[in-house]
């Protein structure tokens, strides 16, 4: 029946409409059977603009009452009435009607989209009472947007469509929308339809404020309305205000979406800025990153000034979107350059350093903003940001620049604190090592120290060479358990006490035992020390070479490299210093012929790892034997290179090497 009723439609251009009408009609008929259980009537009405189908039934019947009872559900929840979901999605409009006699009707309409909609006739200057319905139709035509079309239109496109419809309805020359978003850029024309007639009077224009929340302000302006329809016409103003409300909703939605997008972009920007600023604890690198993250997002150029130890500002970093402008900008912003900082800018920057006040604006060399770099309650410098290329800094820009300044100040302060700590640690480490090794005829000394830390911690490894007299040298190498200040204090104790005891003429075993007594008095068993102590002496009169008395207190065995290319581990293991009150020590004697090398080292050499493999003593002997016949310095360098080449991983333990060679 529905198919026959729609035979008059164009089968080429309206086939989809016919299929949709039959589908939705069948769904409504099925719903009438399942839910009402009564007879039903189908009405099909075809007009030039639309097709309307209505299905009416007689109310709830036995079957509908049966379906309403609770029943078992299987799998997905059982549902009924999906036909209405189809109607809602596919129909241009739909609805229901409930009559007092118990009849229920569900109807839907499908627009014949190939027929262009005609604008209602313009408003009549002298309406009669029968125009009330016509005005309602005009308002409906102004505001109605099919769901599919409204979903595809961007807010500005929707505003443009509303403006076009209003101009056609009123027969006006132009209709436009102007909005001020409160961002300092002034009023912007978002949409305009039509063209002004020459000589048209602005006094005849109708301006209606757009009802929007702060900081948005705007107006809808209608100009050049046809004769007989003035700005004071009540019906005209009502329609314009109706469109103004709809336009305001679209404009505000667009603005809120833009605000949300900007907020998300700023959050991403700040997160990336924090990540970049936190990647390095090197002061120069941390400072250099700051202008790079500011330009060009917040301005055309950026400079960072830091306060030096004399409380003067110095230029630490600078960048510009145009690299060709850097030399000139540097000359102006460098306090030590020529011509140097302008007096007004220098005064403002000094005020920021002194007071740590809020951001200030300046106009020389170009306009921009200056912000203090504050961290831990102190101002460590200033951040200067030049204005963007096409606008001044907005309040949002100033706020974001302040956030970047806070993050940059914390990053720079952390880098400065780390640098100061590293400097103190390195100076302390150097103080625990000999400033220089003795240079005496017939004996060569060489040493090298490799730290496993980045310089912020003091290692526990040490070596020492003390000239007792012209023929005797005290040599020591050791490893104090742990790192840091406690290990450094214990290292200084071991080295200095051992020196005093040796100078006092005590034998090596006795000197080490007395050192153990001193360490035990501290009652800190976690700060024990492994030690290799040796007394190197020239051979007797008429003899060349060196004699070595060696005591090992828990330390790894040194290597004795012979000039003939052989190498062996020497010494007898004893108890580490600072572990137990009574030590077990043995002093061994070794003869070094001319060309022989005595190599002492810490366990960072043999315990160097590559996966599960260790460098080990056997590999050390092989490397040492290969360096036979070389100078003490070359032997140390050969072993160090072999250890570093063994694994590409960073050192996980400090390495100390000390070599003594009997000259030929």
Residue by residue, DSSP assigns 504-573 as TT--HHHHHHHHHHHHHHTT-GGG-EEEEEEEEEEPPTT--SEEEEEEEEBPPPPEEE-TTS-EEE----
Using alpha carbons, list the distances in angstroms from residue 615 to 597, 605, 639. Answer: 21, 7, 11
Q: Identify any residues that bridge with 382 across adjacent strands, giving them in sequence order.
A: 305, 372
pLDDT of residue 637: 96
Q: What is the DSSP letter of 324?
A: G
pLDDT of residue 203: 62
Using alpha carbons, list the distances in angstroms from residue 495 to 235, 439, 519. Answer: 102, 21, 12
pLDDT at 462 over 80: yes
Matching residue, tokens 């060679």: 661
Alpha-carbon Rg for the chain in angstroms: 46
3-state DSSP: the chain helix, strand, coil percent, rounded to 5? 40, 25, 35
Band of residue 77 on the pLDDT scale cut at 50, 70, 90: very low
Residues 529 and 538 sit within 8 Å (Cβ to Cβ):
no
3-state secondary structure 536-547: EEECCCCCCCEE
pLDDT of residue 111: 87
Band of residue 307 on the pLDDT scale cut at 50, 70, 90: very high
pLDDT tens digit sequence for 112-167? 865 444 555 555 545 444 444 555 666 776 777 766 666 678 888 889 988 998 88
Phi-psi region of 433 (alpha: psi -120 to 50; beta: other; left: phi over 0): beta
Using alpha carbons, list the distances in angstroms from residue 212 to 153, 220, 411, 528, 600. Answer: 21, 12, 42, 76, 83
pLDDT of residue 148: 64
- For the segment 574-578, the average pLDDT, to the nearest whole number, is 93
pLDDT tens digit sequence for 594-639? 999 999 999 999 999 998 899 999 999 999 999 999 999 999 999 9
Residues 600 and 624 sit within 8 Å (Cβ to Cβ):
no
DSSP alpha helix (H) spans, 389-484:
395-431
pLDDT of residue 136: 64
Tokens read off for 565: 């290319």
Angle at 243 (CA atoms; ends 238, 249), nearest 5 degrees: 130
315: phi then psi, degrees, rounded to nearest 5? -75, 120
H/E stretch holding 318: strand 313-320
Query: Rounded to whole angstroms, how far apart are CA atoms 224 and 242?
Result: 19
CB atoms within 10 A of CB 22: 15
CA end-to-end span of the chain, whole Å? 122
Query: Rounded to whole angstroms, how far apart are CA atoms 8 and 6?
Result: 5
Residues 428 and 421 sit within 8 Å (Cβ to Cβ):
no
Which carries the bigger pLDDT value, residue 201 or residue 164? 164
- β-pair type (546-553, 559-561): unpaired
Band of residue 72 on the pLDDT scale cut at 50, 70, 90: very low
Query: Rounded to whole angstroms, how far apart are CA atoms 639 and 68?
Result: 91
Residues 568 and 625 sit within 8 Å (Cβ to Cβ):
no
Band of residue 455 on the pLDDT scale cut at 50, 70, 90: low
Query: Rounded to whole angstroms, how far apart are CA atoms 44 and 403?
Result: 66
DSSP alpha helix (H) spans, 91-146:
131-143
Query: Rounded to whole angstroms, how far apart are CA atoms 630 and 638?
Result: 10
Is residue 136 classed exposed, middle or buried when 0-12, 13-18 and 19+ CB atoms within 10 A define those classes?
exposed
Q: What percent of the chain has pLDDT over 90?
A: 41
pLDDT of residue 315: 94
pLDDT at 357 over 80: no
């Amino acid at each position: 029946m529905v198919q026959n009723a729609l035979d008059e439609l164009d089968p080429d251009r309206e086939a989809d409409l016919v299929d949709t009408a039959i589908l939705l009609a069948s769904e409504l008929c099925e719903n009438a059977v399942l839910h009402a259980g009564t007879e039903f009537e189908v009405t099909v009405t075809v007009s030039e603009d639309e097709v309307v189908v209505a299905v009416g039934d007689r109310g709830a019947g036995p079957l509908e009452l049966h379906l309403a009872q609770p029943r078992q559900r299987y799998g997905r929840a059982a549902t009924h009435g999906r036909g209405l979901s189809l109607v809602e999605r596919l129909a241009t409009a739909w609805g229901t009607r409930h009559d007092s006699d118990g009849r229920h009707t569900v109807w839907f309409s499908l627009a014949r989209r190939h027929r262009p909609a005609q604008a209602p006739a313009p408003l009549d200057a002298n309406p009669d009472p029968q125009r009330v319905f016509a005005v309602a139709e005009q308002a409906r035509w102004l505001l109605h947007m099919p769901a599919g079309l409204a979903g595809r239109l961007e807010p500005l496109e929707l505003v443009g469509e509303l403006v076009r419809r209003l101009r056609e309805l009123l027969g006006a020359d132009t209709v436009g929308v102007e909005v001020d978003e409160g961002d300092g850029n002034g009023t912007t024309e978002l949409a305009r339809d039509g063209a002004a007639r020459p000589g048209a009077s602005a006094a005849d224009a109708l301006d209606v404020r757009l009802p929007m929340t702060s900081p948005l302000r705007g107006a809808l302006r209608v100009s050049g309305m046809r004769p007989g329809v003035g700005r004071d016409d009540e019906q005209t103003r009502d329609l314009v205000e109706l469109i103004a409300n709809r336009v305001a909703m679209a404009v505000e939605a667009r603005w809120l979406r833009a605000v949300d997008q900007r907020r998300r972009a700023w959050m991403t920007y700040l997160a990336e800025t924090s990540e970049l600023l936190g990647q390095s604890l090197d002061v120069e690198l941390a400072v250099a990153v700051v202008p790079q993250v500011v330009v060009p997002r917040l301005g055309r150029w950026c400079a960072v000034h830091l306060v030096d130890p004399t409380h003067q500002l110095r230029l630490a970093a600078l960048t510009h979107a145009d690299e060709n402008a850097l030399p000139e900008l540097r000359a102006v912003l460098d306090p030590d350059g020529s011509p140097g900082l302008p007096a007004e800018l220098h005064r403002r920057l000094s005020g920021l350093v002194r007071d740590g006040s809020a951001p200030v604006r300046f106009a020389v060399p170009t306009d921009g903003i200056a912000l203090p770099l504050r961290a831990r309650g102190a101002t460590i410098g200033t951040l200067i940001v030049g204005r963007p290329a096409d606008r001044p800094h907005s309040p949002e820009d100033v706020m974001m620049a302040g956030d970047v300044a806070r993050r940059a100040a914390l990053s720079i302060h952390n880098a400065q604190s780390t640098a100061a700590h590293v400097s103190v640690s390195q100076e302390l480490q150097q103080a625990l090592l000999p400033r220089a090794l003795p240079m005496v005829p017939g004996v060569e000394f060489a040493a090298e120290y490799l730290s496993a830390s980045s310089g912020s911690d003091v290692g526990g490894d040490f070596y020492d060479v003390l000239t007792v007299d012209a023929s005797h040298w005290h040599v020591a190498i050791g490893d104090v358990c742990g790192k840091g200040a406690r290990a450094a204090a214990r290292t200084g104790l071991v080295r200095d006490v051992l020196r005093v005891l040796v100078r006092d003429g005590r034998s090596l075993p006795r000197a080490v035992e007395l050192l153990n007594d001193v360490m035990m008095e501290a009652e800190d068993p976690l700060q024990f020390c492994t030690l290799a102590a040796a007394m190197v002496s020239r051979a007797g009169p008429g003899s060349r070479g060196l004699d070595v008395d060696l005591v090992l207190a828990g330390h790894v065995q040194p290597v004795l490299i012979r000039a003939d290319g052989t190498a062996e581990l020497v010494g007898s293991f004893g108890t580490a210093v600072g572990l137990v009150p009574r030590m077990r020590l043995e002093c061994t004697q070794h003869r070094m012929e001319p060309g022989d090398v005595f190599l002492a080292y810490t366990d960072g050499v043999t315990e160097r790892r590559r996966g599960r493999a260790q460098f080990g003593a056997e590999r050390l002997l092989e490397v040492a034997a290969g360096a036979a016949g070389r100078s003490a310095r070359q032997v140390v360098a050969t072993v160090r290179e072999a250890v570093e080449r063994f694994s590409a991983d960073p050192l996980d333990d400090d390495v100390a090497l000390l070599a003594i060679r009997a000259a030929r």
